[in-house]
Every structure is written in structure tokens, then in C-alpha cells.
Structure 1
Amino acid sequence: MSRTLQILSNLRSVWVLLALGVVLSIASSHFATSNNLLNVALATSVTALLAVGQTFVIILGEIDLSVGATLSFTAAITALTLRHQPTLVGMVVGIGAGAVVGLVNGVLVTKMRLPSFIATLAMMSVLAGLALQVTQGNPVGVSDYSFQNIGQAYAAGIPVPVWIMAVVFLAFGLLLARTRFGRFVYATGDNEEAARLSGVPTHTVKIAAFVLSGSLAALAGFIITARLSTAEPTAGTGLELEAIAAVIIGGTSLAGGRGDMLGTVVGALILGVIDNGLNLLNVSPFLQSVVKGLVILAAVLLDRNAAVVRGWFTRTTTTERVTS
């Protein structure tokens, strides 16, 4: 019974996504068109990339509030580098900057023993200021055609950002589910002290997760910058909350130790579908935030109730074994 509940829990977000699709298809004749669905995937790609890195961090029982500011800062650094350097150099600099931010976050959390909420909140403020400082508060134009293709080109009729999102989800999904590092992430998030005593390098695992989060934030920044041909110093403002919401809606536990990449991608798509559907239905932008907030609240409540039900059935099964 507990195994059945676990499977149903893992599929919960998928059923929600399908139900939303059916409802919006009925409510609007424009929703289920191929062009609109591609637009949903394209609009979701940035949040999805941020959510991938956030998944690793949250499974570890931590949180990264700096990803939005990291996106803004690395986008600005990349755009400024592209003025004088080739495309590849600019991208390496951007990814490197994101990795350094993640490294600093990881060190603050593990070596300095700061709560991740405080450490990344402070980093968010620092990076937001740095992004404004290096750009002097002005957008930085990008004229590099090869770089622009990251956000504007199509391959086999599908936008390149959607392909990037798919490849990243597949690669990091396999990393989380099929590698030793992934097992270490789950073990550390479930019980850090027990994992450490079992030989898991818990500090290294956490630092690596924050580095992944920072690097993927930089990649998300590439997409926004390439799509707009401009790096905005405030481009990532608020996106950290979108990414966290996607991870939570996808079923990853804020307490750590549980979650998967499929749930995260579905959670990101749910947010994208809600945004798109509300726009098609001409719902007020102010009310859209209300709806998204209620969806996040419902996801957390469902997660808590599902955990209670799983625990009840687990206790029941254990009692049956003992008394039989």
C-alpha cells in the first residue's frame, strides 16, 4: 500500500498539469494550439533552469535565494565581456561567475555554518547591487549574432531554449537519480549527520549543489539576454521565488531528502500554463499573483497531507508485521 501511495504521490503534479491543460483547452480555443504550447515551453525555460539547480539545494534541506540576482549579475558580466571577446569566452566568463557565486554560498553554509536562508539572502543583496554597479543601472546591448541564437533560433521547429531546457533536465535528472552524487544528495538531505558518519562528504556535496545552482542561473541568464539582445541589471528580480515555487509544486520536500527532477519540470510547466492560461482569459495581472500564491499554498498543503497519509500507512504496515 505504501508503495502505491508513493507512486501516486510522484504522479500528483502530472495529474494537476493534465487537468489544467484540459480545463484551459475548454476555456480557450487558443490554448491547445502548437504555437501557444511552444510559447508556454519557451516562457518556462528560464524558470525551469533555475529550478533544476534549486532542486538539488532543496533536497539537501537548504535554499538558494540568490539565483535571481545571480542571473542578473552574470548576464551583465557576460554582456560586457561580449563587447570585447568571442562568444565562447563570454559564455565561459558568465558560467564561471555563476559557479563562483555558488561556491561562495556553499562555503558560507558549510564552513561558516550560516543558515542558507541568511547566506543566500545576503548574497542576493550583494549581487543585485553589483549588477547595478557594473552596468550603472543601464541595459547592456548584445550584438553578438551567435550568442543571440541561444535565445532566438529554432531547431527542428522548436526554440533553442526549449531544447536547452530538455537537455538540462535529462542530464541533471540522470545525475540526481542514477549517480553516486545523487545518492549522496538524498542521504545528506534525509539525515546529514547519519550520512556524514557513513562516509558521505556532506560539505562537498552541499558546495557542489550550490555551484550547480549558480552555474544554471548563469545559463538561464544567457537565454534572457539572448532573447532580448540586452542584459537588464534587474532581469532576475523575483525569479528565485518562481523557481522555488516550481520545485515545491513538483513535490520536493522543503525538509529535504525527497524530490525528483520530473516533478520539478512539471512544476515549472504548471506555473507556465497558469500564466499563459490567465493571460488568454484576460485575467487581471494583479489577480494572477493571487492565483499563483494559492496554487503554491495548495501544493504545500497537499504535500503535508500526503506525508501524513504515508506515515499513517507506514505505521499501520509496521504494526501489522509486528503483531503477525
Structure 2
Amino acid sequence: MNSLSSNPSAAPEAPASAPAATAQRKHAWLADYSMPLLYIALFTVLALTVENFFSAGNVVGLMLSVAQIGMVACTMMLCLASRDFDLSVGSTIAFSGVLGAMLLERTGSVTVAVIGGLAAGALIGAGNGVLIAYLRINALIATLATMLMVRGLAFIASQGQAVGIANDAFISFGDARVFGLPLPVIVVAVCFLVFGVLLNHTVFGRNTLAVGGNPEAARLAGVKVERLRVWIFLLQGLVTAMAGLILASRITSGQPNAAQGFELDVISACVLGGVSLQGGKARIIGVLVGVLIMGTVENVMNLMNVDAFYQYLVRGLILLAAVLLDQLKTRGAGGHRD
């Protein structure tokens, strides 16, 4: 009596659910591949219409120009996925570069300079994590305060002046080439590989997405939410400091005013790449595409000699478009589930 064959309403369910399953698969496919396909189309159009865009020198220059954004976007992805964000990354880049240059100047040791810069970044990141996770300070306020304080420390430490770098071994971080590619490009590729594995194939990554999706449910499931958040911000600070040291080596000085507005570019790239501002959703390939879109647009504007004032306008429009895209995806996913 309880078998499916005895229930006349059971048979029609399978055909009725087939169109819904097909629609769901199409929706998932579009969500996964819409941005990569968009970038391929954009790159193709620009290669055919903008002079020198597809030249080997410009393509390598494009990859080099997005190296710092790409490094930091890998860890910003984790912050956003856990329902947080970090506005202090630009200041951390400046401070780590200034500190590294000062340590190099006083000790002559590249090792001391690198370790000092990385330690400072990790400490700044961990401090952000403690403020947000344990002291319950809103991420906007906490990282905004840190942004101002760390930028101030960079100016105080350097007395408002650039700290020159003359050490060839340190400078080689920025201009050395491996297999014909600049070292920063190799470093950012390694970052995407490492954090892609971390996000998709480790307990740390799964817990990060779980915390972003529902912190209380994750806590009930045994995730140590506060400790995880501190680790995420520590990684954010460490990788950001590495980007700052590489930037300092590229420009052969520690600049206290470096990377102003950098945090907005990184967040824009992440959101363009499908990382949800609501937390719980992130894809490393999407972040890569978002970074490339940001870099490509800036590269093309430079090739076309677009005035810097208009470039600010375009970057603002991209940030707005990224946020609107995130909202549309969130609403669409909600409507689809309903």
C-alpha cells in the first residue's frame, strides 16, 4: 500500500521536475562562466581595436600591473567570504614598504627587511581580527581606524619622505625574471594556486564559507568562528605586506603615500569576480577574472591616454557596477530558490 505504484500522484512528479532541473543547471552554468566569457570577449575586442594592446610587452606589463591587486585579492576573497572586509590594505602596503626600506637602510640585510615587513603586516592583520572577532567592533569601523592609524605610522616613521632603496638584491624582487616573466607575476600566480586550494580543498576554506553563510550555524557545528576570523585577517595582513615589499622593490623606495585607494580596487575586483558581499560565496577563478578586468580597463585607458581624472570616474563606476551585480545575483538566487 505504501509503494510508489499505489500512489497515483507520484508518477507525474519526475516529468514536472525535469524542466526545473534543466533551468537550475543553466542558471548554475551562467553563474559560473558568465564573467570568464565576458572577459574573453572584452579581451578579444580590445586586441582587435586598440593599438599595441595585444603586443607581448603590453600583455606582460598588464600582468605586472595587476600583481599587487591579485595578491591581496586572494586574501580579501577570504575576508568577504566570511562576511567581513578590510579597508586597511592600502595603508598596510605603504607601511610595510616603508618599514622594509628603513630596516634595509639601517641593517643592510634583505632578510631582516623582509621578515620585519611581513611581521608588521601579520601583526596589523591579527589586530584587525581581534578587534572584529573578539571585541565585536564592526569591520567597517575597525579597519577604517586601522587604515588611518597605519597610514599615520608610515608618515611618522619616514618623516613624510620616501625611503630610498639601493640594495640590488632587494630590488631584484621587483625586476627579476623567471621563464621570461617578472617575479611578481610568478608570485601572484602562486598566490592564486595556493588560495584556490585553500578555499576549495581544505577544512579552513569550507569553514570560511560556512561562517560567511551563517556564523551561528557554523558555531553550533563546532567551528571556532572567532579564531578563524583572526587567522583570515592575519593572512590578509601577511600577504598585503608581501605585496607592499614587492611594490617597494619595484619603485626602489618605501613610499608612505603609496597605494591610496588600493582597497577599493581590490574589493571591486573580488565582487566583480562573484565574491558575495553577503558572505558564504567565493570562487578563485572569478577573483582572477575580476582582477584582470580591473587591470585591463586601466591598461586600455593608459594606452588611449585617458586623463587621470576620468580614470577615477571609471574606477568608481566599476565599483558601483560590481556592487549592483552582487545585489542582482543575490536577488536572483533568492528568487530561484523560491
TM-score normalized by structure 2?
0.90
Equivalence for 2:286? 263
More displaced 10-residue stretch of structure 1: 301-310 or 56-65:
301-310
Over the aligned positions, Cα root-mean-square deviation in angstroms equals: 1.3
Provide the residue aligned with 2:316 in structure 1.
293
Alignment of 1:113-262 (within 5 A): 113-262=136-285
Determine which of 43, 48, 57 is the counterpart of 1:26. 48
Distance 1:110 1:314 in 2: 31
Matched residue SS, 1:225: helix
1:56 aligns to 2:85 (yes or no) = no
Residues in 2 aligned to 1:97 and 1:229: alpha-carbon distance in whole angstroms: 20
8 Å contact kept, 2:268–2:318: no
Larger Rg: 2
Contact 1:5 1:310 survives alignment (8 Å):
no
Aligned residues: 315
Counterpart of 1:211, as a letter, is L
Deviation at 1:94, TM superposition (A): 0.8
How many Å apart are 1:22 and its aligned residue? 1.8
The match for 1:321 is none
One-letter code aligned to 2:281? R
Helix, strand or coil for the counterpart of 1:207?
A: helix
Secondary structure in 2 matching 1:209: helix
1:111 aligns with 2:111: no
Give 4+ residue runs of structure 1 displaced > 6 Å after superposition.
none
* 8 Å contact kept, 2:76–2:267: yes
Provide the rounded CA distance (Å) in 2 between the counterparts of 1:58 and 1:78.
Answer: 28
- Paired residue for 2:98, among 76, 88, 92? 76
User: In percent, how many aligned pairs have the same letter?
Assistant: 37
Equivalent residue, structure 1, for 2:36 = 14
Which of 101, 106, 114 aligns to 2:124? It is 101
Change (3 A) 1:197 1:180: same
Alignment partner of 1:169: what SS?
helix
Q: Tell me the secondary structure at the aligned position of residue 78 of structure 2.
A: helix
Structure 1 unmatched ranges of 5 or more: 316-324
Matched, 1:272 2:295: yes
Task: Report the residue type matching 1:169 in the other structure.
Answer: F
**Structure 1 stretch 277-286 or stretch 62-71: which is displaced more?**
277-286
For structure 1, which segment, 166-175 or 280-289, has the greater mean C-alpha deviation from structure 2 after superposition?
Answer: 280-289
* Alpha-carbon distance, 1:23 to partner: 2.1
Q: Summarize deviations over 1:213-272 as a string: whole Å, max 9, x none.
A: 101110111111011111101112111111111111111011100012211121111110
Distance 2:240 2:298 in 1: 21
Cα distance in 2 for residues equivalent to 1:311 and 1:19: 29
Cα displacement (A) at 1:299 = 2.7
Aligned to 2:66, what secondary structure does the other structure show? helix
For 1:149 and 1:7, the matched residues in 2 are separated by 43
| AA of the residue aligned to 1:134 | A
CA distance in 1, matches of 2:298, 2:88: 23
Tell me which amino acid in the other structure corresponds to 1:129: G
Of residues 187-196 and 289-298 in structure 1, the stretch that sits farther from structure 2 once superposed is 289-298
Distance 1:278 1:236 in 2: 19
Equivalent residues of 2:268, 2:322 under 8 A apart: no
Q: Which runs of 5+ in 2 are unaligned?
A: 1-22
- CA shift at 1:296, angstroms? 2.6
Give the whole-Å Cα distance in 2 for the aligned partners of 1:68 and 1:163.
22
Give the Å deviation of 1:285: 1.9
Q: Normalized against structure 1, the TM-score is what?
A: 0.94
How far the C-alpha of 1:85 sits from its partner, in A, is 4.3
**Counterpart among 304, 317, 320 of residue 327 in structure 2:** 304
